[in-house]
Amino acid sequence: MSGILGHAAVFGRLRDAAAADRLPHALLFSGPEGVGKRTVATAFARELIAGEDSEQRARFDRGAHASFLLYSDLEKPRPIRRGDLLEPERDESALLAGYEILQNEGWISGVATQASGADVIDLIVRNPDNFLGRKGIPFADVLERSLASLQRSRKSTADAVGIARRLFSPGTSTALYRRNLGIELINGKGDGEYFRNVGTILRTASGGGWRVVVVDDAHKMTDAAENAFLKTLEEPPPSTLLILITSEPLSLLSTTRSRCARVVFDSITAEDLGRFLGTQGVGASQIPPIVALAGGSVGAALDLRGLDLESRTRFVGEILPAIAAGDLGKVLGLSGRRLSEEAAGAETRDALRVEARILLELLALAFRDLVVASAVAQAPAISGLDPSRIRELAALLPPRTWEGLFERTEIALSDLDAHVEPRLAVEALFAEALPVGALG
């Protein structure tokens, strides 16, 4: 329970249902992305399968328990608690040194650099190229060849190889897929014969205990895979629990949804998320804007913690007076220069898109503060800007104008999602919503 943030009540209901022998055979965990659905599913599976047996728990934690199977997207960032990778002969400094080697060799990214301690969570992004065989499906023998090459490298160490194996190896309890979960991993046909699948785990003798299958991002199942899974959902063997996890429940077939009991996850509260970020080395001044931008998602908050939000917030503070003055030329000049600077340092086109999104989201927070300040004199600011400065700027324009800017910012964010050129999306916001010449 110590690793479950904000979902103690959900976990308690699942535990009570199991104790009363009223646990459905199939559950659909739905809710926003990154709020901890997989964490709860894995923790509950561990409790059902291993109970208080220390040997069984250790086997489960190593990813080697034959009664558990987790389908997981190889390209999705994997939250790794540092303490889970520490060994008697591998302290945190050795772990970080191994991380650095793997980053330099192109294996991983996403290591947090601003905090230390066993409870720090790294959002590890794994390079799938070290693990892909035919049809883009992960193969253990491909991984072994890649690990052997890493081991031969003069720049590598035993720690780096061991960490890579833990991060990439499916072990007994994980079936990795890339982008889409295909039928071959569900029914073991074709390329799937090399992997554990639903059929193999359900044919394994349970010894009277539970068997649990968790499908993370269930909406990524292909139509063929989902149809193949329907029969299992309808009539699984006794003491079997199937958990589908999704942030897009309507993307699943209605027949799939009807066979599952729904468990809805809410966003993490701002208070809980703020306390959690404090354990991840985030400074007090950075916590409010990160919490506001994360929208109750632990994953989003962890993704934002390494960004320099202070300089971005200062830029928003610089551009707001020009917006209030209706100086379109100055606003476009400031925003264009900012994005150009980021574009020069961006390694990919996606990096510029991410920067534009952060800028727009910070602007949305500022416009929200200005709207609220227009109505409530002492309202707290969540944008990270000085509350007294917010009140001064709020008085320069009618509340409806600030509301219009906030609404148009949301449209600009939708434009980014629709792959509109980042700079064009930002400029369109100001060109269409700016009260030109408002003060003059």
pLDDT grade for 438, boundaries at 50, 70 and 90: very low
Report the SS3 class of residue 144.
helix
pLDDT at 439 over 80: no
Same domain, yes or no, for 287 and 172? no
Q: CB atoms < 10 A from the CB of 311, how many? A: 9
Instruction: Using the 3D structure, point to which of 264, 296, 325 is the last residue of a domain.
Output: 264
The pLDDT of residue 262: 97
The arithmetic mean of pLDDT across residues 170-178, rounded, is 83
Same domain as 220, residue 336: no
Mean pLDDT of the chain: 88
Q: From start to end of 128-239, where are the E strands? A: 174-177, 211-215
Residue 104, domain member (yes or no): yes
* pLDDT(111) > 90: yes
Let me know whether 226 and 256 are in one domain: yes
pLDDT tens digits for range 376-389: 877 778 888 889 99
Tell me: do 120 and 230 sit in the same domain: yes
In whole angstroms, give the CA distance from residue 254 to residue 265. Answer: 20
Mean pLDDT, rounded, for 35-51:
95
| Burial profile 320-349: b = 16 or more Cβ within 10 angstroms, e = fewer | bebbbbbbbeebbebbeebbeebeeebeee
How far apart CA 124 and CA 109 sit, in angstroms, is 6
Q: Which of 237, 264, 291 is the last residue of a domain?
A: 264
DSSP-assigned beta bridge partners for residue 266: none
pLDDT at 417: 87
Asked if the structure places residue 84 within a domain, the reply is yes
The three-class DSSP label of residue 120 is: coil
CA separation for the pair 196, 204 (Å, rounded): 11
Which residues are bridge partners to 214 per DSSP? 70, 243
pLDDT over 90 (residue 160): yes
| pLDDT score at 1 | 45
CA–CA separation, 347 vs 109, rounded Å?
14
CA distances from 192 to 64, 189, 379 (A): 19, 5, 57
- Alpha-carbon distance 93 to 105, whole Å? 18
> pTM of this prediction?
0.85
Q: Counting Cβ atoms within 10 Å, is residue 56 exposed (0-12), middle (13-18) or buried (19+)?
A: middle
Cβ-based neighbour number of residue 366 at 10 Å: 27
Q: Is residue 320 part of a domain?
A: yes
Sign, Cα dihedral of 144, 149, 150, 152: positive
Question: Does some domain include residue 438?
Answer: no
Q: Is residue 1 part of a domain?
A: no
> How many domains does the chain fold into?
3
Task: Give the per-residue SS3 of 39-54.
Answer: HHHHHHHHHHHHCCCH
Give 398-415 pLDDT, tens digit per residue: 999 999 999 999 999 999
Beta bridge partners of 87: 90
Residues in the chain: 440
326 and 254 inside one domain: no
Q: Which residue did the predictor score with more confidence, 113 or 207?
A: 113
Residues 200 and 321 both lie in one domain: no
The whole-number pLDDT of residue 162 equals 93
Q: Higher model confidence: residue 169 or residue 377?
A: 169
* Kind of pairing between the strands at 261-264 and 26-30: parallel
- Closest C-alpha to 204, from 243, 242, 237: 237
Q: How confident is the model at residue 63 (pLDDT cuts 50, 70, 90)?
A: confident
Judged against a pLDDT cut of 60, whether residue 174 lies above it is answered with yes
- Express as a percent the part of the chain with pLDDT over 70: 93
Q: Are residues 208 and 162 both part of a single domain?
A: yes
Residue whose C-alpha is closest to residue 243's, from 219, 264, 212: 212
In this structure, the answer to whether residues 186 and 210 fall within a common structural domain is yes
- pLDDT, residue 348, reads 60
Contact predicate 384/285, CB 8 Å: yes
Nearest residue to 270 via CA among 312, 298, 309, 307? 298
- Same domain for 209 and 319? no
Give pLDDT tens digits for 362-375.
999 999 999 999 88
Domain that holds residue 337: 309-433
**Structural domain contains residue 3:** no
| C-alpha R_g of the chain | 24
Q: Which two tokens stand for residue 38?
A: 């997989």
* Structure tokens, 127: 């390079």
Same domain, 40 and 70: yes
- The last residue of one of the domains, among 236, 264, 292, is 264
119 and 217 fall within a common domain: yes
pLDDT at 114: 80
Q: Are residues 355 and 297 in the same domain?
A: no
pLDDT for the residue 347: 57
Is residue 131 pLDDT above 90, yes or no?
no
Neighbours of 419 (CB within 10 A): 9
* Three-class SS state of 116: coil
Q: Is residue 90 part of a domain?
A: yes
Q: Residue 62 domain-assigned?
A: yes
Instruction: Give the domain CATH number at 21.
Output: 3.40.50.300
Residue 109 burial by CB count (10 A; 0-12/13-18/19+): exposed, middle or buried? middle
Whether 79 has a pLDDT exceeding 60, the answer reads: yes
Burial class (CB in 10 A: 0-12, 13-18, 19+), 238: exposed
CATH of the domain at 420: 1.20.272.10
